[in-house]
Protein backbone atom coordinates (compact mmCIF):
# COMPACT_ATOMS: atom_id res chain seq x y z
CA UNK A 1 0.00 0.00 0.00
CA UNK A 2 1.24 3.49 -0.87
CA UNK A 3 2.84 5.11 2.18
CA UNK A 4 2.43 8.63 0.74
CA UNK A 5 0.07 10.65 2.93
CA UNK A 6 -2.06 13.22 1.15
CA UNK A 7 -2.79 15.90 3.75
CA UNK A 8 -5.69 17.23 1.65
CA UNK A 9 -7.66 14.00 2.08
CA UNK A 10 -10.11 13.54 4.91
CA UNK A 11 -10.21 10.27 6.83
CA UNK A 12 -13.43 9.46 4.97
CA UNK A 13 -11.68 10.08 1.63
CA UNK A 14 -8.89 7.71 2.64
CA UNK A 15 -11.36 5.07 3.80
CA UNK A 16 -13.33 5.05 0.57
CA UNK A 17 -10.11 5.02 -1.49
CA UNK A 18 -8.94 1.82 0.22
CA UNK A 19 -6.10 3.58 2.06
CA UNK A 20 -5.11 3.45 5.71
CA UNK A 21 -7.47 5.63 7.72
CA UNK A 22 -8.31 6.50 11.32
CA UNK A 23 -11.43 4.46 12.05
CA UNK A 24 -11.96 6.46 15.27
CA UNK A 25 -12.14 9.79 13.49
CA UNK A 26 -15.12 11.94 14.51
CA UNK A 27 -16.96 11.38 11.24
CA UNK A 28 -17.05 7.60 11.71
CA UNK A 29 -18.21 7.92 15.31
CA UNK A 30 -21.07 10.11 14.08
CA UNK A 31 -21.96 7.53 11.44
CA UNK A 32 -22.00 4.75 14.04
CA UNK A 33 -24.13 6.72 16.51
CA UNK A 34 -26.71 7.44 13.82
CA UNK A 35 -26.69 3.83 12.65
CA UNK A 36 -27.11 2.42 16.16
CA UNK A 37 -30.21 4.59 16.69
CA UNK A 38 -31.73 3.52 13.37
CA UNK A 39 -31.00 -0.16 14.05
CA UNK A 40 -32.61 0.16 17.48
CA UNK A 41 -35.72 1.58 15.82
CA UNK A 42 -35.67 -1.17 13.20
CA UNK A 43 -35.37 -4.00 15.69
CA UNK A 44 -38.26 -2.59 17.71
CA UNK A 45 -40.64 -3.03 14.77
CA UNK A 46 -42.90 -6.05 14.43
CA UNK A 47 -42.51 -8.52 11.58
CA UNK A 48 -45.59 -7.26 9.76
CA UNK A 49 -44.76 -3.53 9.99
CA UNK A 50 -43.54 -3.54 6.40
CA UNK A 51 -43.97 0.15 5.60
CA UNK A 52 -42.35 1.30 8.83
CA UNK A 53 -39.41 -1.05 8.29
CA UNK A 54 -38.88 0.18 4.73
CA UNK A 55 -38.88 3.77 5.95
CA UNK A 56 -36.05 3.02 8.38
CA UNK A 57 -34.08 1.07 5.76
CA UNK A 58 -34.34 3.96 3.29
CA UNK A 59 -32.82 6.23 5.91
CA UNK A 60 -30.20 3.66 6.93
CA UNK A 61 -28.90 2.50 3.53
CA UNK A 62 -27.17 4.42 0.77
CA UNK A 63 -29.66 3.04 -1.76
CA UNK A 64 -32.50 0.52 -1.80
CA UNK A 65 -34.69 -0.87 -4.58
CA UNK A 66 -38.20 -2.29 -4.46
CA UNK A 67 -39.35 -5.50 -2.79
CA UNK A 68 -36.49 -5.68 -0.29
CA UNK A 69 -36.64 -7.52 3.04
CA UNK A 70 -34.01 -7.50 5.78
CA UNK A 71 -34.52 -9.97 8.61
CA UNK A 72 -34.08 -9.12 12.26
CA UNK A 73 -31.62 -8.94 13.87
CA UNK A 74 -29.39 -7.15 11.38
CA UNK A 75 -26.03 -5.53 12.12
CA UNK A 76 -24.05 -3.01 10.09
CA UNK A 77 -21.38 -0.40 10.77
CA UNK A 78 -22.51 2.70 8.89
CA UNK A 79 -25.40 1.61 6.68
CA UNK A 80 -24.75 4.53 4.34
CA UNK A 81 -22.31 2.41 2.28
CA UNK A 82 -24.85 -0.37 1.60
CA UNK A 83 -26.66 -0.35 -1.76
CA UNK A 84 -29.36 -2.93 -2.44
CA UNK A 85 -31.10 -3.55 -5.74
CA UNK A 86 -34.68 -4.77 -6.20
CA UNK A 87 -36.04 -8.18 -5.16
CA UNK A 88 -33.46 -8.73 -2.44
CA UNK A 89 -33.96 -10.96 0.60
CA UNK A 90 -31.51 -10.69 3.50
CA UNK A 91 -32.37 -13.29 6.12
CA UNK A 92 -31.96 -12.96 9.88
CA UNK A 93 -28.74 -12.47 11.83
CA UNK A 94 -26.62 -11.06 8.99
CA UNK A 95 -23.67 -8.72 9.55
CA UNK A 96 -22.55 -6.16 6.95
CA UNK A 97 -19.35 -4.35 7.97
CA UNK A 98 -19.73 -1.54 5.45
CA UNK A 99 -16.68 0.64 6.11
CA UNK A 100 -16.40 0.69 2.32
CA UNK A 101 -19.14 0.18 -0.27
CA UNK A 102 -21.25 -2.99 -0.33
CA UNK A 103 -23.23 -3.27 -3.56
CA UNK A 104 -25.87 -5.98 -3.96
CA UNK A 105 -27.69 -6.40 -7.28
CA UNK A 106 -31.22 -7.41 -8.19
CA UNK A 107 -32.90 -10.77 -7.48
CA UNK A 108 -30.45 -11.73 -4.72
CA UNK A 109 -30.94 -14.19 -1.85
CA UNK A 110 -28.77 -13.84 1.24
CA UNK A 111 -29.35 -16.56 3.81
CA UNK A 112 -29.10 -16.36 7.61
CA UNK A 113 -25.79 -15.61 9.34
CA UNK A 114 -24.07 -14.26 6.22
CA UNK A 115 -21.18 -11.91 7.00
CA UNK A 116 -19.82 -9.30 4.58
CA UNK A 117 -16.57 -7.68 5.73
CA UNK A 118 -15.06 -4.66 3.97
CA UNK A 119 -12.67 -3.69 6.78
CA UNK A 120 -9.26 -5.32 7.16
CA UNK A 121 -5.70 -4.88 8.48
CA UNK A 122 -2.18 -5.73 7.24
CA UNK A 123 -1.14 -9.33 7.92
CA UNK A 124 2.41 -8.58 9.10
CA UNK A 125 2.49 -7.26 12.67
CA UNK A 126 5.19 -4.71 11.80
CA UNK A 127 2.85 -3.25 9.16
CA UNK A 128 -0.32 -3.66 11.21
CA UNK A 129 0.87 -1.55 14.15
CA UNK A 130 0.62 2.22 13.70
CA UNK A 131 4.19 3.62 13.44
CA UNK A 132 5.21 5.54 16.56
CA UNK A 133 1.99 4.79 18.39
CA UNK A 134 1.86 5.40 22.16
CA UNK A 135 -0.85 5.08 24.84
CA UNK A 136 -1.23 8.87 24.98
CA UNK A 137 -1.96 9.13 21.25
CA UNK A 138 -5.49 9.60 19.92
CA UNK A 139 -4.72 7.55 16.83
CA UNK A 140 -5.80 3.90 16.81
CA UNK A 141 -2.99 1.45 17.64
CA UNK A 142 -3.31 -0.53 14.41
CA UNK A 143 -3.70 0.35 10.76
CA UNK A 144 -7.07 -0.20 9.13
CA UNK A 145 -8.24 -0.03 5.55
CA UNK A 146 -11.39 -1.14 3.74
CA UNK A 147 -12.15 -2.55 0.29
CA UNK A 148 -15.55 -2.73 -1.46
CA UNK A 149 -17.66 -5.86 -1.91
CA UNK A 150 -19.91 -6.42 -4.93
CA UNK A 151 -22.55 -9.14 -5.26
CA UNK A 152 -24.04 -9.36 -8.74
CA UNK A 153 -27.58 -9.84 -9.99
CA UNK A 154 -29.24 -13.19 -9.38
CA UNK A 155 -26.79 -14.44 -6.74
CA UNK A 156 -27.60 -16.71 -3.81
CA UNK A 157 -25.37 -16.81 -0.72
CA UNK A 158 -26.05 -19.81 1.50
CA UNK A 159 -26.24 -19.82 5.29
CA UNK A 160 -23.14 -18.72 7.16
CA UNK A 161 -21.21 -17.53 4.10
CA UNK A 162 -18.37 -15.10 4.85
CA UNK A 163 -17.25 -12.65 2.14
CA UNK A 164 -13.90 -10.92 2.68
CA UNK A 165 -12.81 -7.40 1.65
CA UNK A 166 -12.44 -6.55 -2.02
CA UNK A 167 -14.39 -9.56 -3.33
CA UNK A 168 -16.74 -9.46 -6.32
CA UNK A 169 -19.23 -12.29 -6.87
CA UNK A 170 -20.38 -12.40 -10.49
CA UNK A 171 -23.96 -12.36 -11.74
CA UNK A 172 -25.93 -15.58 -11.25
CA UNK A 173 -23.44 -17.29 -8.94
CA UNK A 174 -24.32 -19.46 -5.95
CA UNK A 175 -22.11 -19.72 -2.87
CA UNK A 176 -22.56 -22.86 -0.77
CA UNK A 177 -23.40 -22.66 2.93
CA UNK A 178 -20.46 -22.09 5.26
CA UNK A 179 -18.07 -20.97 2.52
CA UNK A 180 -15.41 -18.31 3.08
CA UNK A 181 -15.03 -16.24 -0.09
CA UNK A 182 -11.50 -14.86 -0.25
CA UNK A 183 -11.26 -14.13 -3.99
CA UNK A 184 -13.53 -13.04 -6.85
CA UNK A 185 -16.04 -15.60 -8.11
CA UNK A 186 -16.87 -15.47 -11.85
CA UNK A 187 -20.47 -15.22 -13.02
CA UNK A 188 -22.78 -18.24 -13.24
CA UNK A 189 -20.63 -20.36 -10.96
CA UNK A 190 -21.38 -22.74 -8.11
CA UNK A 191 -18.64 -22.22 -5.53
CA UNK A 192 -18.13 -23.82 -2.12
CA UNK A 193 -15.56 -24.34 0.61
CA UNK A 194 -13.03 -22.50 2.72
CA UNK A 195 -11.36 -20.96 0.87
CA UNK A 196 -14.26 -20.88 -1.61
CA UNK A 197 -13.59 -22.50 -5.01
CA UNK A 198 -15.66 -22.89 -8.15
CA UNK A 199 -16.80 -26.50 -8.62
CA UNK A 200 -18.89 -26.07 -11.75
CA UNK A 201 -20.63 -23.59 -14.01
CA UNK A 202 -24.37 -22.99 -13.72
CA UNK A 203 -26.54 -23.28 -16.81
CA UNK A 204 -29.02 -20.49 -16.21
CA UNK A 205 -31.56 -21.95 -18.65
CA UNK A 206 -31.58 -25.23 -16.74
CA UNK A 207 -31.84 -23.36 -13.44
CA UNK A 208 -34.94 -21.49 -14.61
CA UNK A 209 -36.50 -24.75 -15.84
CA UNK A 210 -35.85 -26.45 -12.50
CA UNK A 211 -37.19 -23.45 -10.61
CA UNK A 212 -40.44 -23.55 -12.56
CA UNK A 213 -40.91 -27.32 -12.13
Q: Give dist(CA 88, CA 64) in Å, integer.
A: 9
Phi, psi of 110 (to 5 degrees): -125, 115
Q: Could you tell me which residues come within 8 angstroms of residue 176 by beta carbon, excluding any fewer than 6 positions away?
A: 158, 161, 190, 191, 192, 193, 196
Give the max Cα distance, the chain: 65
Q: From residue 115, how far is each of 39, 99, 148, 208 by CA, in Å?
A: 17, 13, 14, 27
Cα gap 138→52, rounded to integer Å: 39
Cβ atoms within 10 Å, residue 166: 19
119-120 vs 145-146, strand pairing mode: antiparallel
Q: How many residues does the chain have?
A: 213
Single out the catalytic residue among 121, 147, 186, 190: 121
- Specify whether 121 is catalytic: yes
Q: Are 184 and 167 in contact (CB under 8 A)?
A: yes
The catalytic residue positions are 121
Amino acid sequence: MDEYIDKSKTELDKCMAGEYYDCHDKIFLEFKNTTRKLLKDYHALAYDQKEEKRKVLKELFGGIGTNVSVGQPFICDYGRNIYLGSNVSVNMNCTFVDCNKITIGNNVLIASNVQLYTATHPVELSERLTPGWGPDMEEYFCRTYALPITIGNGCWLGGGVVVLPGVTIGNGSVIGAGSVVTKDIPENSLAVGSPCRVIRKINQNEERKEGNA
